[in-house]
Amino acid sequence: MTIKLVTFKTNHTILAEVDCTKDNEVVMKQPVQVIVQPTKDGPMMGFAPFLEFSEEFKTPGIKVSMEDVLCITTPQRELENKYNEMFGSGIQIASVVPKV
């Protein structure tokens, strides 16, 4: 499973560990809804757990029909790092390789 952004046709975007092994469904583990809120300092991004009280939240995952999905995309590195802080190993991947 890899961390992906799943955007539904309703325009909700979910960040989760995603498995697309079947053509007609996507399985999401530990999904969070990506929320952008306006603030006086500019937009701020946050996560809201998505169906966290369901048995399927962690294992085996929440199954969604691909008919409801608009697109599945790769999150920016910073977004993936924030997700890993919450659910992953905590390892962060550098978004830029320093010049030597």
pLDDT in tens, 1-12: 799 999 999 999
Residue 34 to residues 46, 77, 92, 93, Cα–Cα distance (Å) = 6, 14, 19, 20
pLDDT of residue 63: 93
pLDDT of residue 69: 95
Measured distance CA(67)–CA(75) in Å, rounded: 21
Other C-beta atoms closer than 10 Å to the C-beta of 16 total 26
Using the predicted structure, report yes or no on whether residue 30 has a pLDDT greater than 80: yes
pLDDT in tens, 44-98: 888 888 888 888 888 889 999 999 999 999 999 988 988 988 886 555 455 555 5
Measured distance CA(83)–CA(100) in Å, rounded: 29
- CATH fold of 2-87, please? SH3 type barrels. (2.30.30)
Domain residue spans in the chain? Answer: 2-87
**pTM, to two decimals:** 0.79
